[in-house]
A and B are shown apart, each in its own frame.
Chain A
Amino acid sequence: DSGVTQTPKHLITATGQRVTLRCSPRSGDLSVYWYQQSLDQGLQFLIQYYNGEERAKGNILERFSAQQFPDLHSELNLSSLELGDSALYFCASSVSPDTEAFFGQGTRLTVV
């Protein structure tokens, strides 16, 4: 158990809908990262927050957004969902941006 908690574990939704994925980082970790893993793209970095502020952006679509709250948990919002958004979404956390990151068990999103 990495100490990073992601909810829900599974999510099935229809195209065009909006969903919110939640991540609770390890105690004491200020950095949160989001990654997407699909069958054809592998693990792709989406976005990173440090102590509530966005620090880095990767291959995140405009339909996706994230935030980190004062209690350091983070949410990833996915809107106007398409079939191609079906994937595993992982959250990771670290003490600071330049230390090793620990991953949660992921949320499996299925868009039908």
Chain B
Amino acid sequence: DAKTTQPTSMDCAEGRAANLPCNHSTISGNEYVYWYRQIHSQGPQYIIHGLKNNETNEMASLIITEDRKSSTLILPHATLRDTAVYYCIVRWAGSYQLTFGKGTKLSVIP
């Protein structure tokens, strides 16, 4: 699976959009981009995933650049409950495992 690079930490004001970047410059054509988050020591929570098109669900939007070398997770209206570590993971379609890096610690500030 391709490697990802994320900022170590970010702050976001409550009510504003949180934009979390992820670089995956070595991604190949059959690798998906997944986002999970972990609130404190709870189990990781699935957020969204995509291959090449932008994706949106009730939690977030995923924007993938045309060359697929980077992506951005957007939380449209961040709340204090969105404070968590966010993991960007590139996963080959036939891979059974998720390889977690260190992620981005997002702090939502009142």
Contact = CB atoms under 8 A, between A and B. Distances in A.
A90 B44 contact: yes
Interface residues of A, number: 27
B46 A106 contact: no
Contacts of A104: 43
Given A43-B100, A100-B34, A105 B94 contact: no
A88 B99 CA distance: 16
Contacts of A50: 96
Interface string A21-35: 000000000010100
A105 B43 contact: yes
A2 interface: yes
A2 B44 CA distance: 10
B98 A101 contact: yes
B76 to A, nearest CB: 21
Given A100-B34, A101-B46, A102-B46, A88 B97 contact: no
Contacts, number: 52
A33 B97 contact: yes
A77 to B, nearest CB: 20
Main DSSP-derived SS at the B contact region:
loop
Nearest to A91: B43
Chain A interface main SS type = strand
A36 B46 CA distance: 17
Contacts of B7: none
A45 B43 contact: no
A90 B43 contact: yes
Interface string A99-112: 01111111010000
B15 interface: no
A101 B44 CA distance: 10
B44 A43 contact: yes
A18 interface: no
Interface in A86-100: 88, 90, 92, 97-98, 100
11 contacts: A2-B43, A42-B100, A42-B101, A90-B43, A100-B46, A100-B49, A101-B46, A103-B43, A103-B44, A105-B43, A106-B41
Interface of B: 34, 38, 41-46, 49, 87, 93-94, 96-102
